[in-house]
Amino acid sequence: MTKERYNELYQITFAGKTLEGFSNTEVRDNVKALFRISDERTARLFSGTRTTLKSGLSHNDALVYHRRLTKAGAEVQISVQPRTATVAPQAEASTPPPAPPADRQTQPGPMGSQQETPLEFTGSGREYFGIWIVNILLTIVTLGIYSAWATVRNNQYFYGNTRMDGASFQYLASPVTILKGRLIALAVLVAYVVLSEMYVEAAVVFAIAFIPLVPWIMVRSLRFKAVNSAYRNIRFDFQGRYGEAFMVAFVWPVLNVLTLLLLTPLVMKKTHEFIANGSRYGTTEFQLKADTGDYYRFFGKGLLIAIGFGVAAFLAMRHVGFTVGSIIAAIGYLTLFGYFMAGIANLFLGSVHLASHGFESRLQPLQMIWIYLSNSFLVVITLGLFTPWAKVRMARYRADCTAMLVRGDLNHFVAAEQNRTSALGQELGDAFDVDFAAI
């Protein structure tokens, strides 16, 4: 990295577009309040012409402005400020107050040119319904055997309809391989049930002997999912170690219990590190760049939300009525649910880096709650038939709120992949498609 790139300046631009989930009026009011500008200047910002809101920023400061504006619902972009360019005084809006350092969830290093490359999901509920209903019927008719093919068809649909920079993701697993893995798992389960019915002591020994296998299964399941996922014909990979998985599965949770759950943020960070740092795209490693303090601040805010609603519900039940207190408690639960559902994804993806590239997630807690509740309601009243639309709806929202911060281009991954060893192929037969993820 040259000294010249360390001194790169950035600018924030805006073309009057709003993010999904925000009304135009709401965003106008938010931007007006944030910049403390008149109605006339606000109208000019939303005229559709791309305007430079702020220039001459370091990358860290640009991220702060970007985060504040996206929270307000404005679709803004960060770009490198041309060295010879000057911004007319009337084009640049008044300076909004920067967020305090505690609001920063990432600590990126010096960067070159950056471009935000959003994800998009192009699937539809009607299209996925045909796949979904056939999968269910064939799985029932074949007494579950078709479930392996159903898993592949589902994943291929969602991967193939998730696009970034004009290319789709790919799911490459073989249904036969998944079926073999499930048959092995079923045989182990049957053996355990038989032993537990015939010899209780043998069943206990069997269960204890299975414990050391849990970290191994975690590593193999993450690796299976990774090596069967690809983007631009380059496979992902997972190289996490058994010892790290053992710490995440047993040691850190036990220490957390012994410390009365005070280590919960640290345990989550260790889990995220295990998943992110063990992952690869081609030959390039992912890396989690987050301080432990980021996790404690995140959980601390959640704890304050829980305490606030808990106290309010208690006082309402005591002095107003049980019904009012129950309503407050229910609202508090949903608020906390949305906070963690959106916040954990934002924290994890915002802290992950791939070489010089970063990621960003802008999930909104209230929007997540609304989608989750409305999806659940519609699934119930349609006796499950709305499920395909519910899955597509959530997938589209998650994609719309996720972007890769590309510095330069992604072509160097293709060149690096050409030098990759062929040892990957022999691992594809290990089917441990157990669902274990960071978010």
Rounded CA-CA distance 430/228 in Å is 11
Does any domain span residue 173? yes
Domain end marker among 104, 136, 156: 104
Average pLDDT (242-266) is: 95
**What are 182-208's pLDDT values in tens digits?**
888 888 888 888 888 888 787 788 888
Rounded CA-CA distance 439/368 in Å is 14
What is the three-class DSSP state of 390? helix
- The yes-or-no verdict on residue 43 having pLDDT over 50 is yes
Shared domain for 146 and 197, answered yes or no, is: yes
List C-alpha distances in Å: 256 to 249, 263, 294, 381. 12, 5, 18, 41
The DSSP element (H or E) to which 332 belongs, if any, is helix 322-351
Residues 70 and 362 sit within 8 Å (Cβ to Cβ): yes
**What are 163-178's pLDDT values in tens digits?**
998 889 999 988 988 8
- The yes-or-no verdict on residue 438 having pLDDT over 90 is no
Q: Where residue 411 falls among pLDDT bands split at 50, 70, 90?
A: low
Shared domain for 151 and 94, answered yes or no, is: no
Shared domain for 218 and 75, answered yes or no, is: no
Shared domain for 125 and 64, answered yes or no, is: no
Q: Where residue 409 falls among pLDDT bands split at 50, 70, 90?
A: low
The torsion defined by the Cα of 140, 142, 147 and 149, in degrees rounded to 10, comes to -130
Residues 349 and 402 sit within 8 Å (Cβ to Cβ): yes
CA–CA–CA angle 157, 218, 196 (5° rounding):
110
Q: What's the CATH code of the domain at 31? A: 3.30.1390.10
List C-alpha distances in Å: 246 to 74, 215, 295, 419, 436. 43, 5, 21, 32, 14
- The yes-or-no verdict on residue 253 having pLDDT over 90 is yes
Does any domain span residue 111? no
- The yes-or-no verdict on residue 215 having pLDDT over 70 is yes
Shared domain for 56 and 159, answered yes or no, is: no
Check residue 96 and give its pLDDT: 46
Q: Report which of 56, 54, 79 is spatially closest to residue 68, judged by C-alpha positions.
A: 54
Q: Which residue has the tokens 């639960």?
A: 333
Check residue 358 and give its pLDDT: 92
Domain end marker among 43, 69, 104: 104
Shared domain for 97 and 123, answered yes or no, is: no
Does any domain span residue 109? no
Q: Report which of 407, 406, 402 is spatially closest to residue 120, judged by C-alpha positions.
A: 402
How is 232-243 classified by DSSP, letter by letter? TTEEEEE---HH
Order across the sheet with 51-57: list the strands. 51-57, 10-18, 74-80
The DSSP element (H or E) to which 213 belongs, if any, is helix 213-227
Shared domain for 144 and 227, answered yes or no, is: yes
Check residue 204 and give its pLDDT: 82
The helices-and-strands tally (H runs, E runs) of the chain is: 17, 13
Shared domain for 53 and 173, answered yes or no, is: no
- The yes-or-no verdict on residue 251 having pLDDT over 80 is yes
Give the bridge partners for 135, in sequence order. none
Shared domain for 351 and 379, answered yes or no, is: yes
Does any domain span residue 167? yes
- The yes-or-no verdict on residue 6 having pLDDT over 90 is no
List C-alpha distances in Å: 186 to 182, 224, 405, 410, 413. 6, 18, 43, 42, 39
Rounded CA-CA distance 34/72 in Å is 8
Check residue 152 and give its pLDDT: 93
Shared domain for 235 and 323, answered yes or no, is: yes
Does any domain span residue 435? no
Does any domain span residue 197? yes
Check residue 55 and give its pLDDT: 77
Check residue 414 and give its pLDDT: 55
91 is in which domain, residue-wise? 3-104
Does any domain span residue 433? no
- Neighbouring residues of 51: CB distance < 8 A, sequence distance ≥ 6: 13, 14, 15, 44, 45, 91, 93
Give the bridge partners for 325, in sequence order. none
- The yes-or-no verdict on residue 422 having pLDDT over 70 is no
Q: pTM higher than 0.75, yes or no?
A: no
Shared domain for 77 and 137, answered yes or no, is: no
Average pLDDT (348-356) is: 92
Domain end marker among 71, 104, 137: 104
Shared domain for 93 and 228, answered yes or no, is: no
Domain count, the chain: 2
Residues 421 and 240 sit within 8 Å (Cβ to Cβ): no
Does any domain span residue 439? no
Check residue 213 and give its pLDDT: 86
Check residue 429 and give its pLDDT: 37
Residues 295 and 264 sit within 8 Å (Cβ to Cβ): no
- Classify the phi-psi angles of 141: left when phi > 0, otherwise alpha if psi is within -120 to 50, otherwise beta: alpha
